[in-house]
């Protein structure tokens, strides 16, 4: 990815575009099988990469045992018969070749090695445990596998992925998904490595798109100072002007109201009618869990967007988050703050939106 571009991911619901019930059932069976193989393969790759990385720490091996992780054909001291990156791909191929497209295997291997390299120092220090992948993890594939086309009504889009036909469902799209898909269709933006995720029988396309950054006239000498707190989600000062984005009543109290409703349902669940056991009793609770998650995510997107809009309007090229490290340490010791104020989520959204317009972030 070039320095003047950014990769966006959009979650788009898709359907298997087939009217034949038997064929559609076969397609779903194939997707669920791939999902299972991806989950198993991901855990195998991360485990083997970890074992290879830590061979030198196996102090109970004989001293003359070679442990250099290199291709023996290129380095006489090496103990591998191929490159280190290719070791886990060959492992996946030996187990799953013929049962899953090789493009998916390649994407699993590439992504998992990238994640492992990012976390390897934390593993070595004992600060992180090895990643564990679950059965519902997405099915990855390269961007070249998607060739978009318009449907008959000229509203949604169609594509074939590994011989399985799909159709998007955008509905009353109020976001930029339809515009981005149209731009990808005509070749204005590039489709990168993406994935399919199956959630409770629904299929979602996690589409990654490489876009050019929005060019904004920003000045590095203009600094916006922002403070994150529970009283006011964001308080920002730019020069002589000060702004407050959101308030405690709007964010925390509403979130606590959702939690209180969930708690009442939890108490009443013991007296609910049975019939289908735990699934029936927990259905309403899961609804409120999702409701709280969506509410928080929406608010954090709104707050972060307004902050970046203020910075762009004032041409601030630098955004300073004041005393953030201290606040996070305080929040760790306060159960209420830890449960009800999403510091990390807000910072991640601010970083993401700032990067899109070229604003530098500094966290104190």
Which of 182-186, 284-288, 316-320 is the least confident region?
284-288
Class of CATH domain 219-363: alpha beta
Alpha-carbon distance of 219 to 179, in angstroms, equals 30
Tell whether the torsion through CA atoms of 325, 326, 332 and 338 is positive or negative.
negative
Task: List the end-to-end C-alpha distance of the chain, in Å, as a whole number.
Answer: 29
Question: Radius of gyration of the chain from Cα atoms?
Answer: 25
Question: 39 near 105, Cβ under 8 Å?
Answer: no
Q: What are phi and psi of 24, to 5 degrees?
A: -60, -40
Placement of tokens 């788009």 in the chain = 12
Alpha-carbon distance of 304 to 349, in angstroms, equals 6
Alpha-carbon distance of 152 to 137, in angstroms, equals 32
* Overall average pLDDT of the 154-165 stretch: 86
Q: Pairing relation of β-strands 316-321 and 360-363?
A: parallel
CATH of domain 5-29+138-212: 2.40.280
Same fold, 5-29+138-212 and 219-363: no
For residue 169, the cross-strand partners are: 13
What is the per-residue pLDDT for 236?
Answer: 84
User: Measuring CA to CA, how many Å separate 121 from each of 9, 85, 90, 308?
Assistant: 27, 18, 25, 33
Going by C-alpha positions, the residue among 106, 104, 128, 105 that lies closest to residue 116 is 128
What is the per-residue pLDDT for 128?
Answer: 81
Domain regions of the chain by residue span: 5-29+138-212, 30-125, 219-363
Dihedral over alpha carbons 257, 263, 268, 269 (to 10 degrees): 120
pLDDT digits (tens, 9 = 90+) for 240-281: 888 888 777 777 777 777 777 777 777 776 666 655 666 666
pLDDT digits (tens, 9 = 90+) for 63-116: 555 555 555 566 665 555 667 777 888 888 888 888 989 899 999 889 888 888
Q: Pairing relation of β-strands 149-150 and 157-161?
A: antiparallel
Asked if residue 309 has pLDDT above 60, the reply is yes
User: Measuring CA to CA, how many Å separate 308 from each of 149, 214, 297, 326, 338?
Assistant: 35, 13, 17, 23, 25
pTM: predicted TM-score of the whole model, two decimal places: 0.70
């Amino acid at each position: 990815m070039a320095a003047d571009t950014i990769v966006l991911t959009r979650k788009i619901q898709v359907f298997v575009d087939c009217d034949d019930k038997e064929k559609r059932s076969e397609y779903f069976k194939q997707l669920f099988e791939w999902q299972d193989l991806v989950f198993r393969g991901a855990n195998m790759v991360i485990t083997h990469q970890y074992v290879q990385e830590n061979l030198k720490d196996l102090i109970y091996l004989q001293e003359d045992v070679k442990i250099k992780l290199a291709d023996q054909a290129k380095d006489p001291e090496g103990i591998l018969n191929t490159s280190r990156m290719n070791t886990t791909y060959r492992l996946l191929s030996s187990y799953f070749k013929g049962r899953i497209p090789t493009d998916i295997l390649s994407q699993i291997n590439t992504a998992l090695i990238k994640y492992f390299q990012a976390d390897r120092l934390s593993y070595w220090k004992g600060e992180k445990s090895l990643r564990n992948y679950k059965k519902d993890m997405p099915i990855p594939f390269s961007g070249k596998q998607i060739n978009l086309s318009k449907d008959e009504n000229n509203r949604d889009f169609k594509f074939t992925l590994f011989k399985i036909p799909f159709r998007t469902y955008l509905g009353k799209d109020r976001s930029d998904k339809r515009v981005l898909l149209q731009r990808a269709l005509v070749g204005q933006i590039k489709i990168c490595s993406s994935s399919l995720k199956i959630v409770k029988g629904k299929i979602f396309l996690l589409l990654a798109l490489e876009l050019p950054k929005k060019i904004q006239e920003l000045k590095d000498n203009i600094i916006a100072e922002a403070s994150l707190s529970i009283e006011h989600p964001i308080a920002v000062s730019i020069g002589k002007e000060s702004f407050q984005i959101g308030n405690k009543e709007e964010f925390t109290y509403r979130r606590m109201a959702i939690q209180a409703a969930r708690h009442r349902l939890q108490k009443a669940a013991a007296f609910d009618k049975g019939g289908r056991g735990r699934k029936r009793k927990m259905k309403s609770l899961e609804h409120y869990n999702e409701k709280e998650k969506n509410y928080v995510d929406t608010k954090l997107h709104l707050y972060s967007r307004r902050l970046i809009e203020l910075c762009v309007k004032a041409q601030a090229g630098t955004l300073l988050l004041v005393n953030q490290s201290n606040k996070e340490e305080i929040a760790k010791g306060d159960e209420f703050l830890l449960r009800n104020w999403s510091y990390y989520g807000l910072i991640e959204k601010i970083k993401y939106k700032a990067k899109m317009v070229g604003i530098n972030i500094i966290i104190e």
